[in-house]
Structure 1
Amino acid sequence: MVQPVAPQGVGQTAIAVARFRAAETRRPDRLFADPLAEQFVAAAPPIRRGAGGRGAGWRGLLRYLRPGNLAHYRAMPHFIAVRTRFFDDFVRTAAQTCDQVVILAAGLDTRAFRLDLPDRTRVFEIDLPEVLAFKQGVVAREGTKPAAGRTQVPIDLREDWPSALVEAGFQPGRPTAWTAEGLLVYLTEADCEQLIGRISGLSAPGSRLALGHQDRSTVARQKANPLAGAAQTLYKSGLSERPDVWLGRHGWQATARRAADYGADYGRPLNADVGQGWLVTAERP
Protein backbone atom coordinates (compact mmCIF):
# COMPACT_ATOMS: atom_id res chain seq x y z
CA MET A 1 0.00 0.00 0.00
CA VAL A 2 1.20 3.53 -0.81
CA GLN A 3 2.64 5.43 2.15
CA PRO A 4 0.31 8.34 3.07
CA VAL A 5 1.85 11.75 2.37
CA ALA A 6 1.86 13.97 5.46
CA PRO A 7 0.41 17.48 5.02
CA GLN A 8 2.62 20.56 5.16
CA GLY A 9 2.07 24.15 6.30
CA VAL A 10 -0.97 24.62 8.52
CA GLY A 11 -1.73 20.93 8.03
CA GLN A 12 1.27 20.16 10.26
CA THR A 13 -0.72 21.44 13.22
CA ALA A 14 -3.00 18.42 12.81
CA ILE A 15 0.03 16.14 13.28
CA ALA A 16 1.06 18.06 16.39
CA VAL A 17 -2.41 17.67 17.91
CA ALA A 18 -2.36 13.95 17.05
CA ARG A 19 0.87 13.64 19.04
CA PHE A 20 -0.84 15.13 22.09
CA ARG A 21 -3.87 12.87 21.66
CA ALA A 22 -1.69 9.80 21.29
CA ALA A 23 0.15 10.69 24.50
CA GLU A 24 -3.14 11.25 26.35
CA THR A 25 -4.45 7.88 25.15
CA ARG A 26 -1.48 6.17 26.82
CA ARG A 27 -2.20 7.76 30.23
CA PRO A 28 -3.94 5.57 32.84
CA ASP A 29 -6.07 8.60 33.81
CA ARG A 30 -6.83 9.59 30.22
CA LEU A 31 -9.74 11.88 29.45
CA PHE A 32 -10.44 10.06 26.16
CA ALA A 33 -9.06 7.26 23.99
CA ASP A 34 -7.99 7.91 20.39
CA PRO A 35 -6.23 4.76 19.09
CA LEU A 36 -5.83 6.16 15.58
CA ALA A 37 -3.77 9.10 16.81
CA GLU A 38 -0.73 6.86 17.26
CA GLN A 39 -1.08 5.63 13.68
CA PHE A 40 -1.21 9.19 12.31
CA VAL A 41 1.95 10.08 14.21
CA ALA A 42 3.73 6.95 13.00
CA ALA A 43 2.85 7.76 9.38
CA ALA A 44 4.16 11.34 9.56
CA PRO A 45 7.85 12.35 9.48
CA PRO A 46 9.27 14.01 12.60
CA ILE A 47 8.54 17.74 12.85
CA ARG A 48 11.71 19.68 12.09
CA ARG A 49 12.07 23.02 13.79
CA GLY A 50 13.36 25.92 11.77
CA ALA A 51 16.33 28.18 12.28
CA GLY A 52 16.32 31.52 14.05
CA GLY A 53 16.60 30.15 17.56
CA ARG A 54 13.92 27.44 17.40
CA GLY A 55 15.78 24.22 17.95
CA ALA A 56 19.06 25.61 16.58
CA GLY A 57 21.68 23.69 18.56
CA TRP A 58 22.26 23.86 22.32
CA ARG A 59 21.65 27.61 22.45
CA GLY A 60 18.18 27.10 21.00
CA LEU A 61 17.56 24.31 23.51
CA LEU A 62 18.56 26.54 26.42
CA ARG A 63 16.14 29.22 25.24
CA TYR A 64 13.36 26.66 25.08
CA LEU A 65 14.13 25.69 28.68
CA ARG A 66 13.54 29.16 30.05
CA PRO A 67 10.96 28.83 32.87
CA GLY A 68 8.12 30.64 31.07
CA ASN A 69 8.55 28.71 27.83
CA LEU A 70 9.00 25.40 29.61
CA ALA A 71 5.77 25.97 31.54
CA HIS A 72 3.92 26.66 28.30
CA TYR A 73 5.11 23.52 26.54
CA ARG A 74 4.42 21.38 29.59
CA ALA A 75 0.89 22.80 29.80
CA MET A 76 -0.11 22.31 26.16
CA PRO A 77 -0.73 18.52 26.33
CA HIS A 78 -3.17 19.09 29.19
CA PHE A 79 -4.94 21.86 27.31
CA ILE A 80 -5.35 19.67 24.20
CA ALA A 81 -6.67 16.84 26.39
CA VAL A 82 -9.25 19.11 28.02
CA ARG A 83 -10.25 20.64 24.69
CA THR A 84 -10.64 17.23 23.06
CA ARG A 85 -12.80 15.96 25.92
CA PHE A 86 -14.96 19.11 25.72
CA PHE A 87 -15.67 18.58 22.01
CA ASP A 88 -16.21 14.83 22.54
CA ASP A 89 -18.87 15.56 25.15
CA PHE A 90 -20.47 18.19 22.91
CA VAL A 91 -20.72 15.87 19.89
CA ARG A 92 -22.13 13.00 21.94
CA THR A 93 -24.83 15.24 23.41
CA ALA A 94 -25.65 17.21 20.26
CA ALA A 95 -25.97 14.04 18.16
CA GLN A 96 -28.99 13.03 20.22
CA THR A 97 -31.03 15.78 18.54
CA CYS A 98 -28.94 16.63 15.47
CA ASP A 99 -28.46 13.84 12.93
CA GLN A 100 -25.85 15.83 10.98
CA VAL A 101 -22.44 16.66 12.48
CA VAL A 102 -20.12 19.00 10.56
CA ILE A 103 -16.50 19.13 11.72
CA LEU A 104 -14.87 22.26 10.33
CA ALA A 105 -11.10 22.07 9.80
CA ALA A 106 -11.41 18.42 10.80
CA GLY A 107 -7.70 17.67 10.59
CA LEU A 108 -7.09 14.23 12.09
CA ASP A 109 -10.33 14.22 14.07
CA THR A 110 -11.55 10.64 14.64
CA ARG A 111 -14.90 11.20 16.34
CA ALA A 112 -16.75 9.40 13.52
CA PHE A 113 -14.70 6.31 14.44
CA ARG A 114 -14.43 6.38 18.21
CA LEU A 115 -17.62 7.96 19.59
CA ASP A 116 -20.78 5.96 20.19
CA LEU A 117 -23.17 7.98 18.02
CA PRO A 118 -26.75 7.15 16.97
CA ASP A 119 -26.99 5.01 13.83
CA ARG A 120 -28.73 7.81 11.93
CA THR A 121 -25.81 10.21 12.45
CA ARG A 122 -23.91 11.44 9.42
CA VAL A 123 -20.55 13.13 10.03
CA PHE A 124 -19.12 15.56 7.46
CA GLU A 125 -15.40 16.35 7.74
CA ILE A 126 -14.23 19.53 6.01
CA ASP A 127 -10.54 20.33 5.55
CA LEU A 128 -7.81 20.89 2.99
CA PRO A 129 -7.54 18.11 0.39
CA GLU A 130 -4.00 17.12 1.41
CA VAL A 131 -4.97 16.81 5.08
CA LEU A 132 -7.97 14.60 4.36
CA ALA A 133 -5.99 12.51 1.84
CA PHE A 134 -3.32 11.77 4.45
CA LYS A 135 -5.97 10.92 7.01
CA GLN A 136 -7.85 8.61 4.66
CA GLY A 137 -4.62 6.90 3.65
CA VAL A 138 -3.87 5.98 7.25
CA VAL A 139 -7.45 4.94 7.98
CA ALA A 140 -7.52 2.70 4.89
CA ARG A 141 -4.16 1.17 5.75
CA GLU A 142 -5.36 0.34 9.26
CA GLY A 143 -8.69 -0.99 7.99
CA THR A 144 -10.60 1.08 10.54
CA LYS A 145 -14.32 1.49 9.89
CA PRO A 146 -16.37 4.48 11.09
CA ALA A 147 -19.04 3.93 13.71
CA ALA A 148 -21.24 6.54 12.02
CA GLY A 149 -21.89 7.62 8.45
CA ARG A 150 -18.85 9.64 7.34
CA THR A 151 -18.28 11.93 4.37
CA GLN A 152 -15.12 13.90 3.62
CA VAL A 153 -15.42 17.33 1.99
CA PRO A 154 -11.96 18.37 0.74
CA ILE A 155 -11.97 22.16 0.40
CA ASP A 156 -10.35 25.27 1.87
CA LEU A 157 -12.71 27.00 4.30
CA ARG A 158 -11.95 30.31 2.58
CA GLU A 159 -13.57 28.95 -0.60
CA ASP A 160 -17.25 28.14 -1.27
CA TRP A 161 -17.40 25.25 1.15
CA PRO A 162 -21.20 25.56 1.78
CA SER A 163 -21.88 24.57 -1.84
CA ALA A 164 -19.40 21.69 -1.59
CA LEU A 165 -21.03 20.54 1.65
CA VAL A 166 -24.52 20.53 0.13
CA GLU A 167 -23.22 18.67 -2.93
CA ALA A 168 -21.80 16.04 -0.57
CA GLY A 169 -25.28 15.36 0.81
CA PHE A 170 -25.68 17.87 3.64
CA GLN A 171 -29.31 18.96 4.19
CA PRO A 172 -29.61 22.60 5.38
CA GLY A 173 -33.19 22.05 6.58
CA ARG A 174 -32.15 19.57 9.28
CA PRO A 175 -30.70 20.45 12.72
CA THR A 176 -26.93 20.23 12.64
CA ALA A 177 -24.12 20.05 15.20
CA TRP A 178 -21.09 22.14 14.18
CA THR A 179 -17.60 22.06 15.66
CA ALA A 180 -14.80 24.58 15.12
CA GLU A 181 -11.96 23.20 17.21
CA GLY A 182 -8.66 25.09 17.13
CA LEU A 183 -9.74 26.95 14.00
CA LEU A 184 -10.57 30.62 14.58
CA VAL A 185 -7.04 31.75 15.47
CA TYR A 186 -5.87 30.74 11.98
CA LEU A 187 -8.42 33.09 10.38
CA THR A 188 -8.56 36.86 10.19
CA GLU A 189 -11.45 38.56 11.95
CA ALA A 190 -13.09 39.12 8.55
CA ASP A 191 -12.71 35.41 7.79
CA CYS A 192 -14.31 34.58 11.17
CA GLU A 193 -17.27 36.82 10.35
CA GLN A 194 -17.70 35.12 7.00
CA LEU A 195 -17.43 31.68 8.62
CA ILE A 196 -20.09 32.26 11.25
CA GLY A 197 -22.34 33.89 8.64
CA ARG A 198 -22.12 30.80 6.48
CA ILE A 199 -22.68 28.45 9.42
CA SER A 200 -25.72 30.46 10.47
CA GLY A 201 -27.13 30.44 6.95
CA LEU A 202 -26.97 26.62 6.88
CA SER A 203 -28.31 26.05 10.40
CA ALA A 204 -31.92 25.05 10.92
CA PRO A 205 -33.60 25.85 14.27
CA GLY A 206 -32.28 23.52 16.95
CA SER A 207 -28.78 23.40 15.46
CA ARG A 208 -25.87 23.51 17.88
CA LEU A 209 -22.33 24.83 17.72
CA ALA A 210 -19.13 24.38 19.71
CA LEU A 211 -15.96 26.36 19.16
CA GLY A 212 -12.68 27.34 20.74
CA HIS A 213 -11.66 30.98 20.97
CA GLN A 214 -8.70 33.09 22.08
CA ASP A 215 -8.81 36.73 23.10
CA ARG A 216 -7.00 39.03 20.68
CA SER A 217 -4.50 40.05 23.38
CA THR A 218 -3.61 36.40 24.02
CA VAL A 219 -3.01 35.74 20.32
CA ALA A 220 -0.84 38.84 20.00
CA ARG A 221 1.26 37.82 23.01
CA GLN A 222 1.78 34.30 21.71
CA LYS A 223 2.73 35.49 18.22
CA ALA A 224 5.22 37.99 19.69
CA ASN A 225 7.05 35.29 21.62
CA PRO A 226 10.42 34.80 19.81
CA LEU A 227 10.19 31.10 20.65
CA ALA A 228 6.67 30.64 19.36
CA GLY A 229 6.07 27.19 17.96
CA ALA A 230 5.11 26.48 14.37
CA ALA A 231 1.40 26.69 15.19
CA GLN A 232 1.64 30.08 16.89
CA THR A 233 3.53 31.63 13.97
CA LEU A 234 0.51 30.84 11.76
CA TYR A 235 -2.00 32.58 14.04
CA LYS A 236 -3.95 35.38 12.34
CA SER A 237 -6.23 36.93 14.92
CA GLY A 238 -8.30 36.52 18.01
CA LEU A 239 -11.71 38.11 18.35
CA SER A 240 -12.19 41.58 19.78
CA GLU A 241 -15.24 40.68 21.92
CA ARG A 242 -16.41 37.85 24.14
CA PRO A 243 -17.42 34.82 22.08
CA ASP A 244 -20.92 34.61 23.56
CA VAL A 245 -21.52 38.26 22.62
CA TRP A 246 -20.09 37.68 19.13
CA LEU A 247 -22.32 34.64 18.56
CA GLY A 248 -25.32 36.47 19.98
CA ARG A 249 -24.98 39.08 17.23
CA HIS A 250 -25.34 36.23 14.73
CA GLY A 251 -28.49 34.76 16.27
CA TRP A 252 -27.02 32.11 18.57
CA GLN A 253 -27.67 31.62 22.29
CA ALA A 254 -24.18 30.89 23.62
CA THR A 255 -22.45 29.90 26.84
CA ALA A 256 -18.73 30.68 27.15
CA ARG A 257 -16.43 29.28 29.83
CA ARG A 258 -12.68 29.38 30.23
CA ALA A 259 -10.74 26.20 29.44
CA ALA A 260 -9.50 26.21 33.04
CA ASP A 261 -13.10 25.77 34.22
CA TYR A 262 -13.51 22.65 32.12
CA GLY A 263 -10.10 21.44 33.29
CA ALA A 264 -11.36 21.66 36.86
CA ASP A 265 -14.52 19.73 35.89
CA TYR A 266 -12.42 16.96 34.35
CA GLY A 267 -9.88 16.80 37.17
CA ARG A 268 -7.11 18.14 34.91
CA PRO A 269 -6.10 21.60 36.20
CA LEU A 270 -4.79 24.08 33.63
CA ASN A 271 -2.39 26.86 34.48
CA ALA A 272 -3.04 30.48 33.60
CA ASP A 273 -0.86 30.25 30.48
CA VAL A 274 -3.31 28.01 28.61
CA GLY A 275 -6.39 28.06 30.81
CA GLN A 276 -7.64 31.47 29.64
CA GLY A 277 -8.80 30.18 26.27
CA TRP A 278 -12.57 30.06 25.75
CA LEU A 279 -14.60 26.92 25.05
CA VAL A 280 -18.06 27.79 23.83
CA THR A 281 -21.36 26.00 23.18
CA ALA A 282 -24.32 27.60 21.42
CA GLU A 283 -27.77 26.77 20.09
CA ARG A 284 -29.80 28.16 17.21
CA PRO A 285 -33.22 28.98 18.73
Structure 2
Amino acid sequence: MSEHHHTIALPAGYRHADAFTFHGRDADALAERVEPEAGRSHGGRIRKGVLLGGVPVMLDITLHADRAECSVASDGAAPGDVVHDALVNMLGMRIDPAPFEDAVRDDPLLGPVVARQPGLRVIQSATVFEALTWAIIGQQINLSFAIALRRTFIGLAGRAHSSGLWCYPEAADVARLDLEQLTSRKFSGAKAETLLRFARLVADGALSLDRADDPAAVGERLLAVKGIGPWTVNYALLRGWGYADCSLHGDVAVRNAIGRLRGTERPGLREAETFLEAYRPHRTMAAAYLWASLSQDAG
Protein backbone atom coordinates (compact mmCIF):
# COMPACT_ATOMS: atom_id res chain seq x y z
CA MET A 1 0.00 0.00 0.00
CA SER A 2 1.27 3.50 -0.88
CA GLU A 3 0.48 6.74 0.96
CA HIS A 4 0.49 10.31 -0.29
CA HIS A 5 -0.52 13.57 1.35
CA HIS A 6 -2.30 16.63 -0.02
CA THR A 7 -3.19 19.93 1.65
CA ILE A 8 -6.08 21.96 0.24
CA ALA A 9 -6.65 25.50 1.52
CA LEU A 10 -10.22 26.26 2.61
CA PRO A 11 -11.70 29.76 2.18
CA ALA A 12 -12.76 31.90 5.11
CA GLY A 13 -16.22 30.91 6.25
CA TYR A 14 -15.99 27.42 4.75
CA ARG A 15 -19.06 25.43 5.80
CA HIS A 16 -17.69 22.11 7.07
CA ALA A 17 -21.20 20.84 7.80
CA ASP A 18 -22.05 20.82 4.05
CA ALA A 19 -19.34 18.22 3.40
CA PHE A 20 -20.22 16.13 6.46
CA THR A 21 -23.91 16.09 5.54
CA PHE A 22 -23.41 15.06 1.91
CA HIS A 23 -20.81 12.36 2.55
CA GLY A 24 -22.60 11.06 5.65
CA ARG A 25 -25.91 10.19 3.96
CA ASP A 26 -25.44 6.41 4.32
CA ALA A 27 -25.74 5.57 8.02
CA ASP A 28 -24.31 2.09 7.32
CA ALA A 29 -21.06 3.77 6.21
CA LEU A 30 -20.10 1.13 3.64
CA ALA A 31 -17.96 3.40 1.47
CA GLU A 32 -17.87 6.65 3.49
CA ARG A 33 -17.26 7.30 7.17
CA VAL A 34 -17.87 10.76 8.59
CA GLU A 35 -16.75 11.93 12.03
CA PRO A 36 -17.50 15.62 12.69
CA GLU A 37 -15.92 17.03 15.84
CA ALA A 38 -18.60 17.28 18.52
CA GLY A 39 -19.53 20.77 19.62
CA ARG A 40 -17.53 22.57 16.94
CA SER A 41 -18.62 24.25 13.70
CA HIS A 42 -15.45 23.05 12.02
CA GLY A 43 -13.11 20.10 12.37
CA GLY A 44 -13.61 16.42 11.79
CA ARG A 45 -12.78 13.61 9.43
CA ILE A 46 -14.19 12.12 6.22
CA ARG A 47 -12.98 8.79 4.86
CA LYS A 48 -14.04 7.66 1.41
CA GLY A 49 -13.33 4.48 -0.56
CA VAL A 50 -13.25 4.74 -4.35
CA LEU A 51 -11.72 2.86 -7.26
CA LEU A 52 -9.45 5.15 -9.29
CA GLY A 53 -7.77 3.72 -12.37
CA GLY A 54 -8.68 0.24 -11.16
CA VAL A 55 -6.92 0.80 -7.82
CA PRO A 56 -8.73 0.72 -4.46
CA VAL A 57 -8.07 4.10 -2.82
CA MET A 58 -9.02 5.47 0.59
CA LEU A 59 -9.27 9.26 0.77
CA ASP A 60 -8.83 10.28 4.41
CA ILE A 61 -9.66 13.98 4.85
CA THR A 62 -9.13 15.82 8.14
CA LEU A 63 -10.85 19.19 8.13
CA HIS A 64 -9.45 22.19 10.01
CA ALA A 65 -10.76 25.76 10.05
CA ASP A 66 -8.56 26.91 7.16
CA ARG A 67 -7.39 23.74 5.39
CA ALA A 68 -8.06 20.10 4.63
CA GLU A 69 -5.22 17.65 5.31
CA CYS A 70 -5.74 14.69 3.00
CA SER A 71 -4.02 11.32 3.35
CA VAL A 72 -4.40 9.03 0.34
CA ALA A 73 -3.84 5.30 0.92
CA SER A 74 -3.77 3.28 -2.32
CA ASP A 75 -3.65 -0.47 -2.79
CA GLY A 76 -1.45 0.15 -5.86
CA ALA A 77 -0.44 3.14 -7.97
CA ALA A 78 -3.40 5.49 -8.39
CA PRO A 79 -3.09 8.41 -10.85
CA GLY A 80 -2.30 11.58 -8.89
CA ASP A 81 -4.35 14.04 -10.95
CA VAL A 82 -7.47 11.89 -10.54
CA VAL A 83 -6.90 11.71 -6.78
CA HIS A 84 -6.57 15.49 -6.50
CA ASP A 85 -9.71 15.98 -8.60
CA ALA A 86 -11.64 13.65 -6.28
CA LEU A 87 -10.53 15.59 -3.19
CA VAL A 88 -11.48 18.96 -4.72
CA ASN A 89 -14.89 17.53 -5.67
CA MET A 90 -15.56 16.09 -2.23
CA LEU A 91 -14.80 19.43 -0.57
CA GLY A 92 -17.09 21.37 -2.93
CA MET A 93 -14.36 23.65 -4.23
CA ARG A 94 -15.44 23.81 -7.89
CA ILE A 95 -18.03 26.58 -7.55
CA ASP A 96 -17.31 29.79 -5.64
CA PRO A 97 -20.63 30.84 -4.04
CA ALA A 98 -19.61 34.52 -3.76
CA PRO A 99 -20.68 35.71 -7.26
CA PHE A 100 -24.17 34.27 -6.77
CA GLU A 101 -24.45 35.78 -3.30
CA ASP A 102 -23.50 39.19 -4.69
CA ALA A 103 -26.03 38.84 -7.53
CA VAL A 104 -28.98 38.03 -5.25
CA ARG A 105 -28.20 40.30 -2.31
CA ASP A 106 -31.30 42.39 -3.04
CA ASP A 107 -33.40 39.57 -4.48
CA PRO A 108 -36.71 39.47 -2.53
CA LEU A 109 -36.97 35.66 -2.62
CA LEU A 110 -33.44 34.22 -2.50
CA GLY A 111 -31.68 37.17 -0.84
CA PRO A 112 -33.04 36.32 2.64
CA VAL A 113 -32.32 32.59 2.11
CA VAL A 114 -28.67 33.37 1.29
CA ALA A 115 -28.39 35.78 4.22
CA ARG A 116 -29.40 33.00 6.62
CA GLN A 117 -26.83 30.53 5.23
CA PRO A 118 -23.97 32.44 3.58
CA GLY A 119 -21.20 30.47 1.87
CA LEU A 120 -23.25 27.38 0.98
CA ARG A 121 -21.12 24.87 -0.96
CA VAL A 122 -22.15 22.47 -3.71
CA ILE A 123 -20.46 19.28 -2.50
CA GLN A 124 -19.73 16.81 -5.29
CA SER A 125 -19.30 13.09 -5.67
CA ALA A 126 -15.66 11.98 -5.81
CA THR A 127 -15.87 11.16 -9.54
CA VAL A 128 -18.06 12.04 -12.49
CA PHE A 129 -18.96 8.35 -12.88
CA GLU A 130 -20.12 8.20 -9.27
CA ALA A 131 -22.26 11.32 -9.75
CA LEU A 132 -23.95 9.91 -12.84
CA THR A 133 -24.62 6.46 -11.44
CA TRP A 134 -25.97 8.03 -8.24
CA ALA A 135 -28.28 10.22 -10.33
CA ILE A 136 -29.54 7.16 -12.25
CA ILE A 137 -30.01 5.16 -9.04
CA GLY A 138 -31.81 8.00 -7.27
CA GLN A 139 -34.18 9.19 -9.98
CA GLN A 140 -37.90 8.89 -9.21
CA ILE A 141 -37.51 7.14 -5.82
CA ASN A 142 -37.25 8.43 -2.25
CA LEU A 143 -33.86 9.18 -0.73
CA SER A 144 -33.75 6.35 1.84
CA PHE A 145 -34.53 3.73 -0.83
CA ALA A 146 -31.96 5.31 -3.18
CA ILE A 147 -29.28 5.12 -0.46
CA ALA A 148 -30.10 1.46 0.15
CA LEU A 149 -29.84 0.69 -3.60
CA ARG A 150 -26.55 2.59 -3.78
CA ARG A 151 -25.19 0.46 -0.93
CA THR A 152 -26.23 -2.70 -2.80
CA PHE A 153 -24.64 -1.34 -5.99
CA ILE A 154 -21.31 -0.71 -4.22
CA GLY A 155 -21.39 -4.21 -2.74
CA LEU A 156 -22.01 -5.78 -6.15
CA ALA A 157 -19.58 -3.80 -8.31
CA GLY A 158 -17.11 -2.24 -5.87
CA ARG A 159 -14.16 -3.74 -4.04
CA ALA A 160 -12.87 -3.58 -0.50
CA HIS A 161 -9.86 -1.42 0.32
CA SER A 162 -7.24 -2.97 2.58
CA SER A 163 -8.57 -0.73 5.39
CA GLY A 164 -11.92 -2.55 5.19
CA LEU A 165 -13.78 0.39 3.63
CA TRP A 166 -15.59 -0.49 0.41
CA CYS A 167 -14.71 1.42 -2.76
CA TYR A 168 -17.22 2.98 -5.13
CA PRO A 169 -16.87 1.22 -8.53
CA GLU A 170 -15.71 2.50 -11.90
CA ALA A 171 -17.37 1.88 -15.27
CA ALA A 172 -15.46 -1.34 -16.01
CA ASP A 173 -16.57 -2.86 -12.70
CA VAL A 174 -20.24 -2.08 -13.36
CA ALA A 175 -20.05 -3.19 -17.01
CA ARG A 176 -19.22 -6.73 -15.84
CA LEU A 177 -22.52 -7.10 -13.96
CA ASP A 178 -25.53 -8.76 -15.54
CA LEU A 179 -29.10 -7.55 -15.34
CA GLU A 180 -30.30 -10.24 -12.93
CA GLN A 181 -27.68 -9.30 -10.33
CA LEU A 182 -29.37 -5.91 -10.05
CA THR A 183 -33.04 -6.81 -10.58
CA SER A 184 -32.85 -9.58 -7.96
CA ARG A 185 -31.82 -6.91 -5.47
CA LYS A 186 -34.71 -4.43 -5.83
CA PHE A 187 -33.48 -2.50 -8.88
CA SER A 188 -36.25 -1.95 -11.41
CA GLY A 189 -35.60 -3.41 -14.84
CA ALA A 190 -35.42 0.05 -16.41
CA LYS A 191 -32.98 1.39 -13.79
CA ALA A 192 -30.74 -1.70 -14.05
CA GLU A 193 -30.72 -1.53 -17.86
CA THR A 194 -29.80 2.17 -17.82
CA LEU A 195 -26.96 1.62 -15.34
CA LEU A 196 -25.47 -1.22 -17.38
CA ARG A 197 -25.97 0.56 -20.71
CA PHE A 198 -24.29 3.70 -19.38
CA ALA A 199 -21.39 1.84 -17.73
CA ARG A 200 -20.67 -0.22 -20.86
CA LEU A 201 -20.61 2.86 -23.08
CA VAL A 202 -18.11 4.52 -20.73
CA ALA A 203 -16.01 1.35 -20.32
CA ASP A 204 -15.86 0.86 -24.11
CA GLY A 205 -14.74 4.44 -24.66
CA ALA A 206 -17.91 5.30 -26.60
CA LEU A 207 -18.99 7.91 -24.03
CA SER A 208 -16.51 10.46 -22.67
CA LEU A 209 -16.82 11.82 -19.14
CA ASP A 210 -13.93 14.25 -19.50
CA ARG A 211 -14.28 17.18 -17.11
CA ALA A 212 -12.76 19.51 -19.72
CA ASP A 213 -15.59 18.91 -22.19
CA ASP A 214 -18.18 21.62 -22.90
CA PRO A 215 -21.21 21.09 -20.62
CA ALA A 216 -23.67 21.51 -23.51
CA ALA A 217 -21.88 18.79 -25.49
CA VAL A 218 -21.80 16.56 -22.41
CA GLY A 219 -25.54 17.06 -21.95
CA GLU A 220 -26.26 16.08 -25.57
CA ARG A 221 -24.15 12.93 -25.30
CA LEU A 222 -25.84 11.86 -22.08
CA LEU A 223 -29.36 12.56 -23.35
CA ALA A 224 -28.64 10.23 -26.27
CA VAL A 225 -28.32 7.33 -23.79
CA LYS A 226 -31.68 5.57 -23.39
CA GLY A 227 -32.97 6.01 -19.83
CA ILE A 228 -31.08 9.25 -19.12
CA GLY A 229 -33.29 12.36 -19.13
CA PRO A 230 -32.81 16.09 -18.49
CA TRP A 231 -33.03 15.86 -14.67
CA THR A 232 -30.31 13.17 -14.56
CA VAL A 233 -28.10 15.21 -16.89
CA ASN A 234 -28.42 18.43 -14.88
CA TYR A 235 -27.94 16.67 -11.55
CA ALA A 236 -24.84 14.92 -12.91
CA LEU A 237 -23.44 18.20 -14.26
CA LEU A 238 -23.92 19.64 -10.76
CA ARG A 239 -22.57 16.74 -8.67
CA GLY A 240 -20.02 15.47 -11.18
CA TRP A 241 -18.67 18.34 -13.23
CA GLY A 242 -19.34 21.15 -10.77
CA TYR A 243 -20.95 23.16 -13.58
CA ALA A 244 -22.18 26.51 -12.27
CA ASP A 245 -25.28 26.93 -14.46
CA CYS A 246 -27.36 23.73 -14.19
CA SER A 247 -31.13 24.18 -14.47
CA LEU A 248 -32.77 21.89 -11.90
CA HIS A 249 -36.33 22.81 -12.92
CA GLY A 250 -37.12 19.11 -13.19
CA ASP A 251 -36.34 18.54 -9.52
CA VAL A 252 -39.46 18.20 -7.36
CA ALA A 253 -37.76 19.65 -4.26
CA VAL A 254 -36.56 22.68 -6.22
CA ARG A 255 -40.10 23.29 -7.49
CA ASN A 256 -41.53 22.79 -3.99
CA ALA A 257 -39.08 25.40 -2.70
CA ILE A 258 -40.04 27.90 -5.42
CA GLY A 259 -43.71 27.49 -4.51
CA ARG A 260 -43.00 27.84 -0.79
CA LEU A 261 -40.93 31.01 -1.20
CA ARG A 262 -43.55 32.59 -3.45
CA GLY A 263 -46.45 31.42 -1.31
CA THR A 264 -48.01 29.61 -4.26
CA GLU A 265 -48.61 26.07 -5.48
CA ARG A 266 -45.62 24.12 -6.77
CA PRO A 267 -44.90 25.43 -10.29
CA GLY A 268 -44.87 23.19 -13.34
CA LEU A 269 -41.72 22.40 -15.30
CA ARG A 270 -41.97 25.28 -17.77
CA GLU A 271 -42.78 27.83 -15.07
CA ALA A 272 -39.90 26.62 -12.88
CA GLU A 273 -37.52 26.75 -15.83
CA THR A 274 -38.54 30.36 -16.51
CA PHE A 275 -38.11 31.23 -12.82
CA LEU A 276 -34.56 29.82 -12.77
CA GLU A 277 -33.62 31.59 -16.03
CA ALA A 278 -33.46 34.84 -14.04
CA TYR A 279 -30.48 33.47 -12.11
CA ARG A 280 -28.22 32.68 -15.09
CA PRO A 281 -25.26 32.04 -15.03
CA HIS A 282 -25.62 30.90 -11.41
CA ARG A 283 -28.53 28.45 -11.63
CA THR A 284 -26.61 25.72 -9.78
CA MET A 285 -26.25 27.90 -6.69
CA ALA A 286 -29.89 28.95 -7.04
CA ALA A 287 -30.89 25.25 -6.86
CA ALA A 288 -28.58 24.68 -3.89
CA TYR A 289 -30.18 27.54 -1.97
CA LEU A 290 -33.68 26.45 -2.95
CA TRP A 291 -32.90 23.02 -1.48
CA ALA A 292 -31.48 24.68 1.63
CA SER A 293 -34.59 26.85 2.03
CA LEU A 294 -36.72 23.76 2.64
CA SER A 295 -34.87 23.08 5.89
CA GLN A 296 -34.84 26.71 7.03
CA ASP A 297 -37.49 28.17 9.26
CA ALA A 298 -40.16 29.85 7.20
CA GLY A 299 -39.47 33.13 9.01
Question: Structure 1 length as normaliser, TM-score?
Answer: 0.33
* Structure possessing the higher relative contact order (Cα contacts under 8 Å, 6 or more residues apart): 1
Question: Structure 2 length as normaliser, TM-score?
Answer: 0.32
